[in-house]
């Protein structure tokens, strides 16, 4: 383990989850941090995202295998949580997604690993540059429209030819957070007639600023906005009333991008089988919250389910389809976080009273975390 006069050693592991092509830190961001820390990168970690080993070495990083990194590094950085064979040693710090997974949290606590779960980054102006959820949701919103367009049997834009005129497709985003707004903007650029919906009254202005039509429902149904900027959880009765209010609008849509979620809770059910029965055969729903239960009753993670001619897609890792740019944004968030935690020190400054590091620690032993990076 390093002494206080030595630089902290940060390791970047390759991703082993099926379909995961991103890398947690890219060479240009390592180059920006190299004066504050030493970096060791697993060979091939960035290959799927378009960053080869030579670019990492040019940035000042050392290449190594997984075991070497686990044995020699104070901090381990990944996109996805590590598997059993990638678990950091006791006293080390892990920076990755998985901050809302209680089973992972318990597993790491039992092994005395401090986990800085990236989902726990607070939604504040100060932490905006560190917010991986927002950056990756933006890419997911864009990719969802492309995936939905591929599955549709119609074109998104209007097309006039000698053989006749094709009308533009009608699209709606359910939930007007980062992913929903990016889906609206992307569908607009592709020529669809675009709509947006959200239970938060403040979302109307955002939807309309992108040139989309806001679908309004009875304001008594809406759950309003929480302190974190997300919609508040609704009662089962409110959700049932909301589904009925939305069903007539969804029946006219050909592409639905579903993004509505409430952190730490199952995704609200907005599309039930009754609504599916009203939709046009050939319509496509891309449910971006499949991992949280889905906004559609029949959604299954990483599967396409067809009901009455309506295809319901439940992709769980769309950013990996755009692995290069997704990695650039993810890495930029991680770089901003590490720069903040390393400021003026040779170790990570993990202060339970700090609004950012305190949120990341979420009650974990900050004193042990400081020793881990000493």
The catalytic site residues sit at 123, 128, 131, 134, 230
Structure letter (DSSP) for residue 321: G
Q: Please provide the DSSP assignment of 22-66 as one string.
A: --SS-HHHHHHHTTTEEEEEETTTTGGGT--HHHHHHTTPEEE-H
Spatial CA neighbour of 86 closest among 30, 10, 22, 16: 16
What CA–CA distances, in Å, run from 357 to 145, 192, 269, 366? Answer: 35, 43, 34, 9
Q: Which residue has the tokens 């006039």?
A: 160
What CA–CA distances, in Å, run from 19 to 15, 48, 205, 278, 303? Answer: 9, 10, 36, 34, 14
CA dist., res. 318 & res. 173, Å (int): 16
Beta bridge partners of 258: 174, 287
313, two tokens: 């897609």
CB atoms within 10 A of CB 134: 17
| Backbone phi and psi for residue 284, each to the nearest 5 degrees, phi listed first | -130, 135
Beta bridge partners of 40: 11, 62
What CA–CA distances, in Å, run from 113 to 69, 192, 212, 352, 365? Answer: 15, 48, 46, 16, 10
Beta bridge partners of 304: 313
Q: Which residue has the tokens 């790491």?
A: 108
């Amino acid at each position: 383990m390093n002494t206080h006069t030595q630089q902290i050693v940060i390791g970047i592991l390759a991703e082993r989850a099926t379909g995961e092509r991103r890398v947690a830190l890219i060479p240009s961001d390592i180059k920006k941090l190299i004066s504050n820390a030493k970096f060791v990168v697993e060979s091939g970690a960035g290959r799927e995202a378009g960053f080869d080993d030579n670019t990492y070495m040019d940035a000042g990083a050392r290449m190594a295998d997984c075991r070497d990194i686990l044995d020699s590094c104070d901090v381990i950085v990944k996109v996805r949580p590590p598997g059993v064979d990638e678990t950091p040693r006791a006293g080390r710090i892990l920076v990755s997604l998985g901050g809302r997974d209680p089973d992972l949290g318990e597993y790491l606590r039992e092994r005395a690993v401090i986990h800085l779960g990236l989902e726990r980054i607070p939604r504040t102006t100060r932490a905006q540059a560190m917010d991986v959820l927002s950056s990756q949701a933006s890419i997911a919103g864009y990719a969802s429209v492309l995936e939905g367009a591929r599955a549709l049997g119609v074109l998104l834009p209007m097309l006039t030819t000698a053989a006749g005129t094709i009308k533009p497709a009608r699209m709606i985003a359910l939930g007007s957070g980062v992913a929903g707004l990016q889906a609206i903007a992307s569908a607009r650029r592709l020529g669809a007639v675009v709509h947006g919906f959200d239970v938060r009254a403040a979302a109307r202005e955002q939807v309309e600023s992108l040139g989309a039509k806001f679908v309004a429902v009875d304001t008594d149904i809406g759950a309003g906005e929480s302190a974190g900027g997300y919609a508040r959880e609704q009662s089962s009765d409110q959700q049932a009333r909301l589904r009925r209010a939305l069903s007539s609008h969804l029946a006219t849509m050909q592409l639905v991008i579903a993004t509505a979620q409430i952190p730490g809770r199952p995704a609200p059910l907005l599309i039930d089988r009754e609504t599916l029965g009203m939709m046009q055969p050939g319509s496509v729903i891309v449910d971006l919250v499949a991992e949280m239960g889905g906004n559609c009753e029949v959604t299954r993670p990483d599967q396409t389910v067809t009901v009455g001619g309506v295809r319901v897609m439940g992709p769980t890792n769309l950013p990996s389809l755009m692995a290069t740019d997704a990695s650039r944004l993810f890495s930029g968030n991680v770089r901003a976080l590490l720069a903040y935690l390393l400021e003026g020190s040779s170790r990570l400054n993990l202060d339970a009273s700090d609004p950012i590091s305190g949120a990341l620690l979420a009650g974990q032993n900050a004193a042990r975390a400081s020793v881990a990076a000493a």
